[in-house]
Amino acid sequence: EVQLVQSGAEVKKPGESLKISCKGSGYSFTSYWIGWVRQMPGKGLEWMGIIYPGDSDTRYSPSFQGQVTISADKSISTAYLQWSSLEASDTAMYYCARHEGGSNTWLDYWGQGTLVTVSS
Amino acid sequence: DIVMTQSPDSLAVSLGERATINCKSSQSVLYSSNNKNYLAWYQQKPGQPPKLLIYWASTREFGVPDRFSGSGSGTDFTLTISSLQAEDVAVYYCQQYYDTPPYTFGQGTKLEIK
């Protein structure tokens, strides 16, 4: 069974750093692109970027380029989303999801989400 | 970037009636080499992650009830629920995955029971 299990909720202060994770199981983790999607409170879905864990090829949405870093450790089947300096506007639910085939395919399996709250 | 615009923003339909959600892309998402539309639909219920319903604009994901159908080509697409059930109350999103990133979503359509 394909599963993406994300790390737990985080409460951080502005200016702090953070790295959240997404562990894949039940499939060949290195053979599928993993994407990250932001959902701000009460708002819609925003596509942030993707990574191919096989070679760490990474693509970002222009809206998120330079704001976050996507990485992966294929030895432990885990993808990451990290911030070096959080802002209150980063408060959101973050989902990882698997692209079904190549990068330009649909998102067929989703993690449960990680809620990030940034508040002083 | 390709901009995806859904209409309406919200919709109230009676149980058993048809619900129709529209999605328009700012440029064609039809790839001429394979004649496929790079468009997916997702359903998100409160407190849950999105769930894939349809890909290639009209192919239902395994296990999705056949009351859900997708249609359209090029820049205009439709998600239809033929007979609304109570469990279909959710927010629905379209997404394009054409060519290179970013693979943008529509703003969502909230579907409620009338």
pLDDT tens string A69-80: 999 999 999 999
Which chain B residue has the Cα nearest residue A43?
Answer: B107
How many residues can be counted in chain A? Answer: 120
Give me the residues paired with residue A49 across strands: A36, A60
Q: Under DSSP, is residue A51 helix (H, G, I), strand (E, B) or coil?
A: strand
Place of tokens 């802002």: A87
Contacting residues of A for B105, CB less than 8 Å apart: 37, 44-47
Reported as a pLDDT band with limits 50, 70 and 90, residue B15 is: very high
Gap from B99 CA to chain A (nearest CA, Å): 6
Give the model's pLDDT for residue A5. 98
Report the distance separating Cα A100 and Cα A90, nearest Å. 27
Computed over every residue of chain B, the mean pLDDT equals: 97
Query: Nearest Cα to A32, choosing from A112, A102, A113, A111?
Result: A102
Confidence of residue A103 (pLDDT cuts 50, 70, 90): confident
CB-nearest to B105 from A46, A104, A105 is A46
CB-CB contact of B98 with B2 (8 Å) = yes
User: Which one of B49, B55, B100 has the shortest CB-CB distance to A106?
Assistant: B55
Give contacts of A110 with chain B, Cβ < 8 Å.
49-51
Give per-residue pLDDT as tens, A90-100. 999 999 999 99
Identify any residues that bridge with B95 across adjacent strands, giving them in sequence order: B40, B105
